[in-house]
Amino acid sequence: MLYLIGLGLGDPKDVTVKGLEIIRKAKRIYLESYTSLLSVGKEKLEEFYEREIIIADREMVEQDSDSILQDAAKEDVAFLVVGDPFGATTHTDMILRAFQKGIPYKVVHNASIMNAIGCCGLQLYRFGETISIVFWTEDWKPDSFYDKIKTNKSHGLHTLCLLDIKVKEQSVENLIKGKKIYEPPRFMTVSCAAQQLMEIIEKKQSQGDNDLAYSEDTVCVGLSKIGSDDQKIVAAPLRRMTMLDLGSPLHSLIICGGLHPIEKEMLQMFAEDSGCLFPSAEEAT
């Protein structure tokens, strides 16, 4: 059996009882290590699970999945995923590959950023399509997600922005030369994402577009290390988000749509400056 097991968002103890029982009995255990990361390292997981773990990086999962699935029809293989197993399409692909090989599978779900994001007080059913924001380079600044933000906003819905993670990435030069030299890990911060979002609307305005999806005054929520004991949640206008330091990764950002009175009241709890979050006390209630 191939087991896809969600680990949750915080420390090793966030795994479910069902997941832990499977992990301790499995023949081989893999930890997917590039779509998201736990706040603790592989060693802490091994200590708690009392089992050896094999790191499955992007190259292994996408190009050498056969090694993970090897003998899975005859023995139990556990594939561990931070958050929930269906938080990334890569894991759906793993299931399809197993199905094609006649390997049975089971999924053990857990919390992910997609539902834990409700901790900031915004109601989950009021979120629209989720977007991903990637690191820009000097000559590559994709902004195709802007239209999704605009569609969400037109329906009064919030937009969850998943921020870029660069783990075991190669430079263009080393990629061309075929050198297995990897860049240091990089994790997008809330302030970096906010700066890129600001640059997008500045470009739109310079092109004469006055019907913007958001403005520098749009209320946003920055979050870091959700699910851990030292998680941070800050609500502020987008312009202020460009200057905030929410500490160590992982970060997420929410662009607020229409706000229910209870959502406004909750956001005041996390306001960096309640005086600038909403124009007046009456509006906040």
Annotated binding site for S-adenosyl-L-methionine: 9, 84, 87, 112-113, 163, 251
Amino acid at 211: D
Extract the annotated binding site.
Answer: 9, 84, 87, 112-113, 163, 251
**In the numeric block, which tokens belong to residue 65?**
């999945």
**In the numeric block, which tokens belong to residue 88?**
């990334």
The C-alpha atoms of residue 265 and residue 63 are separated, in whole angstroms, by: 48
Q: 164-199: buried (b, 16+ CB within 10 Å) or exposed (e) per residue?
A: ebebebeeeeeeeeeeeeeeeeebbbbbbbbebbbe
Could you give the dihedral angle defined by the CA atoms of residues 245, 186, 93 and 160, in that order, rounded to the nearest 10 degrees? 20
The C-alpha atoms of residue 68 and residue 2 are separated, in whole angstroms, by: 9
> For residues 97 and 67, is the Cβ–Cβ distance under 8 A?
no
Please, which residues bridge with residue 235 across strands? 221, 271
Identify the DSSP state of 124. Answer: G
